[in-house]
Structure 1
Amino acid sequence: MSEVAGRRHQISLPQWATLPVVVGGFIVMAWIIIGLTVPLWAPYDPTMLAGRRFVPPGAEHWLGTDALGRDVFTRTLYGVRHSLPIAAAVIASAVVIGCTLGAIAGFVGGIVDEAIMRLVDVTLSFPAILLAMAVTAALGPGLANAAIAMIIVWWPIYARLMRAQVLAVREREHVEAAIASGATPSRVLFKHILPLCWSPIIVNATMDFGQVILLAASLSFIGLGAVPPTPEWGQMISDGALHFYRWWIAAGPGIAILTIVLGFNFLGDGLRDYLDPRSP
């Protein structure tokens, strides 16, 4: 009897609430909290000299100091205050632009669809990193220009995804019934089609957060993103590459990028399982 009662009181978690999802959510929330609170407790100023150059990790400097004597641990923590807002701005802008154009293409069809999708095809024909590099080089280095370049790279992905969702949903019976009942095109689109199209968009956006952070770091690494002395992870790894034997300069930001990208990927996998209507 006690065993049966114990089974009844067990908490059954949904299938999507797996260990990777919990770990991913914890990592993302931890970085968000660090970004919001780091100015209150960081041991040093991220842009000012904290001591001697190339001090190895120790009790005073947990991740050592860089070529200018700045504390690497502090700069790594401050790096999330640049990476996460840039990623959020890029994803939000790409979703708004891409989903708007994709919904119009899929719902209107005809020459409008052809024009939008040919623009999407032309943009996607370039490798993402090369297109981002070309746009950023034309606009000039800086995080704002890098964000514009990444928006140009990412919006076609959401345009194509939204178009595919609209084309699939518009053939359903409830949409045909709404059209037959005399509903206006805008009502059909916003009330009967778009609410059923957002699940893959949300999942894709969550997983793209990590990819945007990685691309932003790549642009900064080659000198097209953050401008010194901004504590940005890609810029810090670039500084570490100049002093290869001082491994700690690049280790901190490298681990930060690794953890936050894995966190968003784990979280995106969980959201995909949760939002999939075929999952139990």
Structure 2
Amino acid sequence: MHTLRSVRLPRWATAPVIIGGVIIIAWFIILLTVQWWAPYDPTMLAGKRFTPPDAANWLGTDALGRDVFSRTLYGVRQSLPIALVVIVCSVLIGTALGAIAGFVGGLLDEAIMRFVDVTLSFPPILLAMAVTASLGPGLGNAAIAMVVVWWPIYARLMRAQVLSVREREHVEAAIASGASPPRILFKHILPLCWSPVIVNATMDFGQIVLLAASLSFIGLGAVPPTPEWGQMISEGALHFYRWWIAAGPGIAILSIVLGFNFLGDGLRDYLDPRSR
């Protein structure tokens, strides 16, 4: 008689990672396939104005008779790509400058970090609003504004990691052996600095989606009639008693923020050396 062995999940497969991963994968599937199965075109009339949720319009219609459910699904095509672009650009710029500041030190370190301190002294939403307002409304300008807000976070984080790692014995041994500075930085220091950056970027993804929606809410993001979650919530705020107009995009933003926060928490526990 064969004994049944319990199935043991990998150490990374914790409940937060699984829940967050399922939510995120579901939204990326919607992003890639929504144009083939959404009930209606997001910019065309789908019924009467302010129709409550029913069998034909699952989340009702808005002030122009457009299907709120379809517009909510299409909204992911604005939010996820812009968040991905902002994260990639912020990580590349911030980690490059932070690594240089931490490794070189001296006046260059002081110059970079004082600029970072000045940028971080402003509340993120106010700085993003100021930059976007100076450039003009639009998702492209909103993305530039969010990169301006977010790259200093990664510069400071990477600098702290580099300062910590460069004092370790293997780095001192590489320096004593005559290794070149680029080799020391890219081979002996940076590979040990990425875990906090990955965790931080994962958790920031949802925050960037929220900030992009906030800019659109106040008219500095997506331009009508583009279906975008913040803009849809702004329209719903004008007709608060028609709750369904803002309910769909609000739940969408909440799910994405929770999904990336769950995933980031799980990755932090997995990548933390103290948990091994």
Query: Which of 11, 14, 19 pairs up with 1:23?
Result: 19
Shift of 1:13: 2.4
Deviation of 1:256 after TM superposition, in Å, equals 0.3
2:137 aligned residue: 141
CA distance in 2, matches of 1:31, 1:261: 12
C-alpha displacement at 1:16, in angstroms? 4.2
Q: Report 1:92-241 matches (<5 A).
A: 92-241=88-237
> What secondary structure, in the 3-state scheme, does the structure 2 residue paired with 1:245 have?
coil
Q: Point out the more displaced range, 17-26 or 70-79.
A: 17-26
SS in 1 for 2:226: coil
Per-residue deviation, 1:14: 4.1
Structure 2: distance between partners of 1:10 and 1:81: 41
| Residue 45 of structure 2 corresponds to residue 59 of structure 1 | no
Deviation at 1:19, TM superposition (A): 1.9
Give the TM-score of the pair, scaled to structure 1: 0.97
Question: Hey, what's the Cα distance between the residues in 1 that align with 2:188 and 2:15?
Answer: 36
Q: CA deviation at 1:51?
A: 1.5
Other structure's SS at 2:273 match:
coil
Q: Does 1:267 align with 2:263?
A: yes
Alignment partner, residue 69 of structure 2: 73
- Tell whether 2:86 aligns with 1:90: yes
Q: Deviations for 1:17-48, whole angstroms, at most 9, x for unmatched residues? A: 22222111000000000010000111110011
* One-letter code aligned to 1:256: A
- In 2, Cα distance between equivalents of 1:134 and 1:278: 41
1:40 aligns with 2:30: no
> CA offset at residue 166 of structure 1?
0.2
Question: Where does structure 2 lack aligned partners over 5 or more consecutive residues?
Answer: none
- AA partner of residue 24 (structure 1): G
Q: Separation in 1 of the partners of 2:72 and 2:155?
A: 34
The alignment yields a C-alpha RMSD, in angstroms, of: 1.0
AA aligned opposite 1:33: I
Distance between the aligned counterparts of 2:102 and 2:136, measured in 1? 35
Report sequence identity in percent.
82
The number of aligned residues is 276
Counterpart secondary structure, 1:11: coil
Q: Does the residue aligned with 1:57 lie in a helix, a strand or coil?
A: coil
Per the TM alignment, residue 15 of structure 1 is displaced from its structure 2 partner at its CA by: 4.6
Could you tell me which runs of 5 or more consecutive residues in structure 1 were left unpaired when the two chains were aligned: none
After TM superposition, the score normalised by the length of structure 2 is 0.98
How many angstroms apart in 2 are the aligned matches of 1:63 and 1:20? 29
